[in-house]
Chains A and B, each alone.
Chain A
Amino acid sequence: MPNEPANLLQGTLDLLILKSLALGQLHGLGVSRRIEQITRGTFLVKPGSLFPALHRMEDAGWLASSWGASENNRRAKYYKLTAAGRRQLESEVGEWKRIALAISFALQAT
């Protein structure tokens, strides 16, 4: 069932949020849609996990937020990466690549 949304691996949500914001600022729903888009519909992030993560990451200093108007002129809170967030993204990407490589090696083993 390729269209069934997958469970997020522990720790991957942070990575996905950071990645989704790499190109510019987004509001909450935008982050959600962007993740859906860049994972080709594999991950659907619900508000119940999205908001706690956003706030936690903001507290950690990786994200900055501000209120602004959305595309159809509604009020929305926008998030963008801070310098620390960019560094965090880099290090998490590196880490992820290592894990992914290791897992694929493991699965290829006979």
Chain B
Amino acid sequence: MKRRDVDEEIQAYMDLLIAEKMKAGMTLDDARRAARLEVGGVEHIKEEVNDARKGALVETTLQDLKYGLRLLKRSPGFAALAILTIGLGIGANSAIFSVINGVVRKPLAYPNPHRLMYITSQFSQQHFDKFWVSPPEFLDYKDHTRAFSDLGAYLTTAVNVSDGDNPERVNAVFMTANMFKVLGVRPERGQVFTPEQDVPNTEPVVVIAHELWERTFASDPAIVGKRAQIQGRARTILGVMPRGFDLHDTKAQVWAPLGLDPSNRQNRGSHYLYLVGRLAPGITEGQAKSELQSFLKQWGQWAGPGPGPGGMNHVPNDSTHRMNIEPLRDEVVGNVRRALWVLQGAVALVLLIACANVANLLLARAEARHKEFAVRSAIGASRGRILRQFISEGIVLSTLGAILGLAIAFWGLRAILAANPGSIPRISEITLDPSVLGLTVVVAALTGVIFGLAPLLHMSEKSVTIAIKEGGTRTTSNAGRNRVRRALVTGEIALAVTLVIGAGLLLKSFRNLTSVDPGFTPDNKVTFGIVLPQASYPDSQRRVQFFQELSSKLEAIPGVQRASAMSGLPPFRQVNANDTDFEGYKYVPGSNMPIPNVDYYQYATVGYFETMGIPVKEGRAFDATDAAGSPVVIINEALAKRFYPNQDPLGKRLNPYLTRDTTWFRIIGIAKDVKQGGLEASVGTELYFNYEQLPRIVGFAPGQMNMILRTTRPLDGIAPAIRRAVKEKDPALPIVQMRTMEDVVGASVTRQRFLSMLLGIFAIVALTLAAIGTYGILSYIVTERQREIGIRMALGAGNNQVVGLVMGQGMGIAILGIVLGVLGAYALSRLTASLLYGVSPSDPLTYATVAGVIALVAAAACILPTRRATRVDPLEAIRAD
């Protein structure tokens, strides 16, 4: 409204009135005085005009907001508590939602990402789900499929990139040339490799990541066409991919051709490829699946009957060797999705509890201001006007809370990301983004309105007159109001119990996981990886010699007692699943007999078992004589149990197919089971081969090994000496991830630790809020019943009776809440079941402990109000008001 316009209009009215009066015979002065008297206060009229207009809504709202702020300033304690509560709720929600948004909801960064499918094989008898695909399988599939416009394959590994003096180990993807087309990505500089460059024995080429280009090649503008030492070979750099390009969350920095030979379809047993396909236009996921299903039935005709070792047929079929299709995104984020939604559920509960608490605070305040509102209502403020004021106060609170919440979210998110290296996929996509901000605004507005409305629950017409008649004192007529507040606190306790039980179960799982025996002793050990490039170490014997010499060099460092090398670092290895013949074991296809296939192959130097602290239960460990001796192998207990159930395995022979012709390895020892595939997984079967004898027996020894050192000194103290030793051996070799073995074991439970830590924090926040709520309602009840308590005491009630009365009320609320919470937790236990390890989702001990703890917390929250009740002076209480 244009205020000036109203001014002018009133002035014109005055002028007309004065003229009228002068016409009737008044003097100018008299006319003016009379007119002014008749018109009244100009400002007042302007206010009235403003109020009358629809547009005034905005201004009264602003007024209310100002008033709200002023009121909050008058009770800073209340304001701080409320804002902190809302801030915590909103902050935790925004932080977790940011994580979910980045990881689960945001589409993968390719064009039409929902058309990308991930294809794996599945061996039902060995319980291998999502297993790799072999090259012939990939080529067969690619030849026949019409459901996919293109199908690519890749494998992930790591390579050494050396630029002069700074060797570096980076993740790499070897893939078919068409993968760029499948994904729909182009390089930001130069070219990608073509199918012609993706065949065996061509000049080596690579495409590198923007990050590697920046970091290692100093953003060289003329990088395309240059050569770089990658994995010991000079490779031509064809192009640079745009920043952030990734495939399957590998964080790869180098992409190189896979070099499959399309004509070679012989080696069907060797599964090591991941497949990604782009659905052809108009084809659905379901159609692709049914096409694959029909392929499984006829694959045998394409491949021929070629029997594998042990009579096994490595051709996909629709029973023992299936193939699976799923959206690529499900694969990338699949296993964290549930954990993240559980977290989101948990923070939503925290927010609900926070809301209940703030509503309770506002209710309590509304009680105190009961008379004020009654008076305002009586002198003509409309119910709408009072309602609006409540809501504006709520909005002021929640807006300030939201601002605090965003700050908490910002720092919380940083803390989450910092606390969580490597256990969340797509971590680079997590930001506080507009949709998170939008959510915060919505949550803030909703909580504002809800908080605002809460006090109205008892602001009825009737209560206005009662409040005035009572002169503002409280009587038992407040029972209805009390019911609301008690219900809020009961609900709060119930939610807190649910959350704390969930957190308790996860913490217990985590404790179970960390107390799992990995099969070796992780303390006092340092490990790091070394990869000898094929190009500079082409000879197996030289590789063995390198590790022997490096071990001696390391053992010469003061504090290092023993140094050994092995190919696979437990407890986080990828399954090998190698076909193995056991002498005298005849597998009958289709029977219940275990398939002659071993989960893990481990190549270890002589001292490995001693260094790692793995007991050899029967027989002997490798010794120096084996290098020149006959082929020997050590098995683990799981393998002995599976393939030699009722016999002594020592001295028996097996053929691991490490050579083209049959070579029998004699079993010389049985080692204790070591967790290979994660602490929560069951132990797989395992074979240990003696690294030193490999070149002579099988003509090959791997160059990618892990060093393990037993040392009495901390990592920090010994690391420089280790680096020096490696550098003296070969300055071009990068040291990969030097860590203590305890860190390695710890890293394998990072996600569980992360989850239980966050849920634990939320549970503590929830518990605190619920305790505050309980305390609040009880002290309110005590104040309200002061008079009654006084009368009781005057009539002879002792301290004990008063304590019983007050505690009874408080604990009544708490116990109802606990019962509801336990029921809630039980109802939700199905959702968390898959996140638990070694504890049942309805674990009675956890439920009972949590119920007990929360009852104690509630009792503690009751103590102060109860003590105040017992100190009521009967005389004063009765005389009051």
Contacts and interface: CB of A to CB of B under 8 A. Distances in A.
B10 A51 contact: yes
A29 B13 contact: yes
Interface string B45-83: 100110111110000000000000000000000000000
B827 to A, nearest CB: 53
Interface in A30-56: 46-49, 51-53, 55-56
B716 interface: no
Contacts of B20: 29
Given A28-B9, A48-B45, A53-B52, A74 B16 contact: yes
B15 interface: yes
B16 A52 contact: no
Given A47-B40, A70-B16, A77 B49 contact: no
Contacts of B44: 48
A51 B17 CA distance: 15
Contact of B12 (A52, A53, A59, A75): A75
B19 A74 contact: yes
B557 interface: no
Interface string B16-55: 1101100000000000000000111000110011011111
Contacts of B54: 59
Contact of A46 (B9, B12, B19, B40): B40
Contacts of B51: 52
Given A29-B17, A56-B52, A72-B19, A47 B12 contact: no
B6 interface: yes
B9 A48 contact: no
Nearest to A53: B52
A27 interface: yes
Contacts of A28: 9, 12-13, 16
A21 to B, nearest CB: 16
Contacts of A77: 8-9, 12
Contacts of B8: 75, 77
Contact of B49 (A55, A72, A74, A75): A55
A46 B13 CA distance: 11
A92 B1 CA distance: 27
Contacts of A55: 1, 6, 49, 52-53
Query: Which residue among B6, B48, B51, B55 has the maximum number of chain A CB atoms within 10 Å of its CB?
Result: B48
Contacts of A47: 10, 13, 38-40, 45
B53 A59 contact: yes
Nearest to A33: B20
Contact of A51 (B19, B38, B48, B55): B48
Nearest to A75: B12
Given A27-B16, A75-B12, A77-B9, A46 B53 contact: no
A15 interface: no
25 contacts: A27-B12, A28-B12, A29-B17, A29-B20, A46-B39, A46-B40, A47-B45, A48-B44, A48-B48, A49-B48, A51-B9, A51-B45, A52-B48, A52-B51, A52-B52, A53-B52, A55-B1, A55-B49, A55-B52, A56-B53, A59-B55, A70-B12, A74-B16, A75-B8, A76-B12
Contacts, number: 63
B11 to A, nearest CB: 9
Contacts of A75: 8, 12
A93 B44 CA distance: 31
A70 B1 CA distance: 24
Contacts of B49: 51-52, 55
A77 B16 CA distance: 11
A74 B45 contact: no
What are the 5 closest A-B residue pairs judged by CB atoms, nearest first?
A: A52-B52, A56-B52, A52-B48, A29-B16, A28-B13
A59 B17 CA distance: 26
Interface of A: 27-29, 46-49, 51-53, 55-56, 59, 70, 72, 74-77
Contacts of B45: 47-48, 51-52
Interface residues of B, number: 24
B110 to A, nearest CB: 55
A28 B49 CA distance: 13
Contacts of A70: 12, 16
Given A47-B39, A53-B52, A75-B12, 10 more contacts: A29-B20, A47-B10, A48-B40, A48-B44, A51-B48, A55-B6, A56-B53, A59-B54, A70-B16, A74-B19
B631 to A, nearest CB: 99
Contacts of A51: 6, 9-10, 45, 48-49
Nearest to A28: B13
A1 to B, nearest CB: 20
A63 B40 CA distance: 25
B41 to A, nearest CB: 8
Query: Which residue among B16, B48, B49, B55 has the maximum number of chain A CB atoms within 10 Å of its CB?
Result: B16
Interface in B540-571: none
Contacts of B39: 46-48
A58 B301 CA distance: 86
Nearest to B55: A59
Nearest to A57: B52
A46 B8 CA distance: 17
A34 B538 CA distance: 113
A53 B45 CA distance: 11
Contacts of B17: 29
A28 B48 CA distance: 16
A46 B48 CA distance: 12
A28 B44 CA distance: 17
Nearest to B16: A29
Contacts of A49: 48
Nearest to A76: B12
Nearest to B41: A48
Contact of B16 (A46, A48, A59, A76): A76
Contacts of A53: 52
Contacts of A52: 45, 48-49, 51-52
A38 B52 CA distance: 26
Nearest to A58: B53
Contacts of A76: 12-13, 16
A51 B40 CA distance: 12
Nearest to A49: B48
Contacts of A56: 52-53
A51 B8 CA distance: 12
Contacts of A27: 12-13, 16
Contacts of B55: 59
A25 to B, nearest CB: 14
Interface in B810-828: none
Nearest to B13: A28
Nearest to A31: B13
Given A48-B48, A51-B6, A74 B53 contact: no
Interface in B123-168: none
Interface string B528-547: 00000000000000000000
B2 to A, nearest CB: 11
A77 B39 CA distance: 16
Interface string B694-730: 0000000000000000000000000000000000000
B208 to A, nearest CB: 68
A48 B54 CA distance: 18
Contacts of B52: 52-53, 55-56
A83 B229 CA distance: 87
A108 to B, nearest CB: 34
B438 to A, nearest CB: 33
A11 to B, nearest CB: 14
Contacts of B48: 48-49, 51-52
Contacts of B40: 46-48
Contacts of B6: 51, 55
A47 B48 CA distance: 10
A64 to B, nearest CB: 14
A29 B19 CA distance: 11
Contacts of A48: 39-40, 44-45, 48
Contacts of B53: 55-56, 59
B805 to A, nearest CB: 51
